[in-house]
Amino acid sequence: MTTKSLRLFAPESYWNAIPAERSAVCNGCGVAGWKGKLVPDTLWGLDISKACDIHDWMYHHGVTESDRCEADRVFLNNLIRIINNHGGVLAGLRRYRATTYYNSVHRFGGAAFWDDKNPSETMSA
């Protein structure tokens, strides 16, 4: 949930997870660690961390390229829903930046999605 009781799209497993399960997987926008701190959890002051957390959850639990693409689409959809729900004079700029977030994760998120999904014995050195 976000402002004004907006329900975002997410798998039931996300909504049913206890907070400790979510925090083990979700870390807001950006990758885990210091590099993630470079990616804001806001779009010009509007909190989008819940959309990022849902995206993290879907990446963690996804197993196919189709799952990855669905997670990316849900991410953009949730960003736009948050922006439209909030409204205001910055909505256009926020939608533009949301599209930038989506394009970045869609183009460059493959490594994060596939990380730790292949058994180590199938990986070559």
99 found inside a domain? yes
Domains: count for the chain: 1
20 found inside a domain? no
Average pLDDT of the chain to the nearest whole number: 89
89 found inside a domain? yes
Q: Is pTM, for the whole model, over 0.85? A: yes
| Residue 105: domain span | 27-115
93 found inside a domain? yes
101 found inside a domain? yes
47-91 pLDDT, tens per residue? 999 999 999 999 999 999 999 999 999 999 999 999 999 999 999
46 found inside a domain? yes
6 found inside a domain? no
Q: Which long-range contacts (CB under 8 A, 24 or more apart) does 56-65 make?
A: 56/25, 56/26, 56/27, 56/28, 57/10, 57/11, 57/13, 57/14, 57/17, 57/22, 57/25, 57/26, 58/10, 58/11, 58/14, 59/109, 59/112, 59/113, 60/25, 61/11, 61/13, 62/113, 63/117
11 found inside a domain? no
